């Protein structure tokens, strides 16, 4: 016999399976960015889970999920717009030019970039991660990596290209 909690969880899994790809496609059509669409879709399902009691009483599940999705996209776009405006409003030229400020700014940026890079590298497929680390962290040449891993030089180059593309995409998401 299923508990009420298990039944609710099973129902939510069904809801997720039925609507996740639709929500993500909808968000992608409005944002044009797969990463943003994925983030929005996750937000939608967090909201649906947090308000699961409301779902039971809604008359049209399609309309409810669409409304939550539309609101999540609007919130996301509004937040992104504010962030862009905030960044553009900062007049760095009017700030005092001190070596300490420049050093602190550079340190913060370097730390953020390093953190982003580590996160992306951690999530890479194993072989790509291995090639990237050998190339960028250990300074091995493409030929050395190819010999070490039994790959062609072209495959090594492709792994590095894909790794750098992933890192650039993630950095662009934060800017």
Domain CATH for 131: 1.10.10.10
Which of 64, 89, 114 terminates a domain? The answer is: 89
Domain CATH for 63: 1.10.1740
Mean pLDDT throughout 71-75?
Answer: 89
Whether residues 116 and 48 fall in one domain:
no
Among 123, 146, 122, CA closest to 134: 146
- Residue 126: how many other CB atoms lie within 10 Å: 7
Cβ neighbours for 70, distance < 8 A, ≥ 6 positions apart: 26
Q: Model confidence over 86-108: pLDDT tens digits?
A: 666 555 555 555 554 555 455 56
Whether residues 76 and 123 fall in one domain:
no
Give domain status of residue 161, yes or no.
yes
Per-residue burial over 60-90, b = 16 or more CB atoms within 10 Å of its CB, e = otherwise: eeeebbbebbeebbeebeeeeeeeeeeeeee
Q: Model confidence over 121-133: pLDDT tens digits?
A: 899 999 999 998 8
Q: Which helix H or strand E contains 57, and what residues bound it?
A: helix 52-57
Biggest CA-to-CA distance, the chain: 70
Give the CA angle between residues 83, 47, 75 to the nearest 5°. Answer: 25
Task: Give the structural domain span for 66.
Answer: 4-89
Whether residues 11 and 75 fall in one domain:
yes
């Amino acid at each position: 016999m299923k508990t009420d909690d298990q039944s609710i969880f099973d129902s939510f899994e069904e809801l997720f399976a039925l609507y996740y790809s639709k929500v993500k496609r909808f968000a992608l059509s409005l944002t044009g960015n797969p990463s943003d669409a994925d983030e929005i879709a996750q937000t939608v399902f967090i909201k649906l889970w947090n308000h699961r009691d409301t779902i039971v009483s809604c008359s049209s599940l399609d309309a409810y999920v669409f409304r939550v999705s539309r609101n999540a996209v609007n919130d996301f776009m509004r937040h992104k717009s504010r962030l862009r405006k905030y960044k553009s409003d900062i007049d760095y030229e009017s700030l005092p030019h001190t070596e300490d400020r420049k050093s602190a700014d550079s340190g913060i940026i370097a730390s953020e970039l390093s953190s982003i890079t580590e996160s992306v590298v951690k999530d890479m497929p194993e072989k790509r991660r291995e090639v990237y680390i050998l190339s960028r962290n250990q300074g091995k040449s493409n030929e050395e990596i190819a010999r070490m891993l039994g790959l062609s030089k072209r495959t090594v180059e492709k792994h590095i290209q894909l790794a750098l593309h992933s890192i650039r995409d993630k950095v662009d998401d934060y800017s």
